[in-house]
Structure 1
Amino acid sequence: MAQRVFITAGAGGIGKVIAETYAAQGAQVYVCDQDHRALESLRDGITGSCVDVTDEAALDDWLQAGLAVLGGCDVLINNAGIAGQADPVEALDLAQWKKCLAVNLDAQMITCRAIAPVMKRQKSGAIINLSSTSGLFGAPFRAPYAAAKWAVIGFTKTIATELGPYGIRCNAICPGAVSGDRMDRVLAAEAQARGVTPQDVFEDYASGSSLRRFAEPEEIAQLCVYLSSDAAKFVSGQAIAVDGNTETYHSV
Structure 2
Amino acid sequence: MTENRRVIITAGASGLGRAMAEAFLRAGDKVAVCDADPDAVTAIAQDIPEIRAVVADVTDKTAMDAFFAGLEDDWGGADVVCSNAGIGGPAGHIEDLDFEDWRRCVSVNLDGAFLTCRWAARVMRAQGHGLLLLTSSTSGLFGFPQRSPYVAAKWGIVGMTKALASELGPAGVRVNAICPGAVEGPRMDRVIEMEAQARGVDRDDVRRGFSEGAALRRFVTAEDVAAMALFLASPGASSITGQAMAVDGHTERFV
Compute the TM-score of the two structures, normalised by the length of structure 1.
0.93
Structure 2: distance between partners of 1:119 and 1:231: 20
Q: How many angstroms does 1:203 deviate by?
A: 2.6
Q: Which amino acid counterpart does residue 126 of structure 1 have in structure 2?
A: L
2:35 to 30, 33, 36: 33
Q: How many angstroms does 1:202 deviate by?
A: 2.8
Q: Deviations over 1:71-106 (max 9, x none)?
A: 210001011000112121212322222211110011
Which residue is equivalent to 1:232?
237
Q: Which amino acid counterpart does residue 185 of structure 2 have in structure 1?
A: G
Q: CA RMSD in A?
A: 1.7
Structure 1: distance between partners of 2:252 and 2:209: 12
Which residue is equivalent to 2:82?
77
Structure 2 counterpart SS, 1:152: helix
Structure 1 alignment gaps of length 5 or more:
none
Structure 1: distance between partners of 2:194 and 2:95: 23
Q: Which amino acid counterpart does residue 24 of structure 2 have in structure 1?
A: Y
Which residue is equivalent to 1:179?
184
Q: How many angstroms does 1:185 deviate by?
A: 3.0
2:225 to 202, 220, 223: 220
Structure 2 alignment gaps of length 5 or more:
none
Q: How many angstroms does 1:139 deviate by?
A: 1.5
Task: Tell me the matched-pair count.
Answer: 249
Q: Cα–Cα, structure 1 residues 187 and 144, in superposed 2: closer, same or farther, change >3 Å?
A: closer
Structure 2: distance between partners of 1:23 and 1:194: 43
1:120 equivalent to 2:98? Answer no
Compute the TM-score of the two structures, normalised by the length of structure 2.
0.92
Q: Which 4+ runs in 1 deviate beyond 6 A?
A: none
Which residue is equivalent to 1:10?
12
Structure 1 counterpart SS, 2:179: strand
What is the 5 A alignment of 1:65-144? 65-144=70-149
Q: Which amino acid counterpart does residue 6 of structure 1 have in structure 2?
A: I
Identity over aligned residues, as a percent? 47
